[in-house]
Amino acid sequence: MSPLHATQLAPRGPVFSPVAAGLWRLHDWNLSPAELAHWIEHAIQLGITTFDHADLYGGFRCEALFGQWLKANPGQREHIQLVSKCGIKPADPARGWQVKHYDSSRGHILASVDASLQNLGTDYLDLLLIHRPDPLLDPDEVADTFASLKVSGKVRHFGVSNFSPSQFALLAARTPLLTNQLEASLLHTAPLFDGSFDQCLQAGVRPMVWSPLAGGRLLQAEAHPAVHAVLVQIAGELAVTPATVALAWLLRHPARPIPISGSRRLSSLDDAAAACQLQLDRQHWFALLEAAHGHPVA
């Protein structure tokens, strides 16, 4: 398989791989340094060069684990793209957080970026996202903070995650946003119909997609028998895996989503790369939509 071709996330935006590697569960994978290096380098060999992080993943430990590899391989920094997210504070009395809450204040964003840079072993992030919509978010304060981070060179581009279309529009009116990272899959089709993907198309930005395989449930017959059966049928016809078909279903959307593959299995990276080279026809695409919704389109 030829390495994937990188594409722009948005006009004047960063060049990302068409699928990203997710590190949400990295701490739970219990990989040795050699095993982690093999996983990262396998992704890079496939052309999956965009790595998705967040400050709190793995109890605030995942970025540092990845950073151990990057610090040992500093020459790789120019060949990869690092995404991180901030703004969620889980209940943690040791940190003075008595209740889970969101924090999009200037002070928290700046402190989170500094911690991510140190943990990852880099002096800049390619993309920073506000992890969840914060009811107390002040768009002018966030815009000013983003501007400061850009001037300092610590963050090159910005976006959001899990924002509704109206929440995205509010912040985008104050500062350029290059993506909205959303949950989307055959078991969570809401972004296709609630205006989220439409908004990305209108703005000329590409959504990033978390849980594109519904946390693995799409690959379990008992989780949704109808969808699984159609995935297996189409996979057999096309001589690919069901996971590849499920990811290709997302990639077929004209908003050109960037799915995030977040499994420790090397084969999951292979499936994601294969999906980028598979163009589902309309009938296959709608057969899967029908199975997901339980009825034909009207």
- Written as one letter, the residue type at 247 is L
Spell out the domain ranges in the chain: 7-216+256-262
Cβ contact 271:260 at 8 Å = no
pLDDT of 2 above 90: no
pLDDT digits (tens, 9 = 90+) for 223-247: 999 999 999 999 999 999 999 999 9
Angle at 30 between CA 83 and CA 76, to 5 degrees: 40
Token pair, residue 140, equals 């002018």
Residue 164 confidence (pLDDT)? 98
Question: What is the chain's alpha carbon radius of gyration, rounded to the nearest angstrom?
Answer: 19
Cα(243)–Cα(219) distance, integer angstroms? 7
Residue 190 confidence (pLDDT)? 98
pLDDT of 1 above 80: no
% residues pLDDT > 90 (the chain): 98
DSSP 133-161: --TT--HHHHHHHHHHHHHHTSBS-EEEE
Give the DSSP letter of residue 90.
-
pLDDT of 79 above 90: yes
Cα(39)–Cα(155) distance, integer angstroms? 26
Q: How confident is the model at residue 3 (pLDDT cuts 50, 70, 90)?
A: confident
Cβ contact 242:217 at 8 Å = no
Q: How confident is the model at residue 163 (pLDDT cuts 50, 70, 90)?
A: very high
Exposed/middle/buried for residue 269 (C-beta within 10 Å: 0-12, 13-18, 19+)? buried
Supply the mean pLDDT for the chain.
97
DSSP 217-251: GGG-TTT-HHHHHHHHHHHHHHTS-HHHHHHHHHH
| CATH architecture type of domain 7-216+256-262 | Alpha-Beta Barrel (3.20)
Q: How confident is the model at residue 290 (pLDDT cuts 50, 70, 90)?
A: very high
**88, β-bridge pairs:** 102
pLDDT digits (tens, 9 = 90+) for 97-137: 999 999 999 999 999 999 999 999 999 999 999 999 999 99
Q: What are phi and psi of 160, to 5 degrees?
A: -140, 175
- By annotation, the residues acting in catalysis are 57
Cα(58)–Cα(61) distance, integer angstroms? 5
% residues pLDDT > 70 (the chain): 100
Residue 55 confidence (pLDDT)? 98
Cβ contact 245:280 at 8 Å = yes
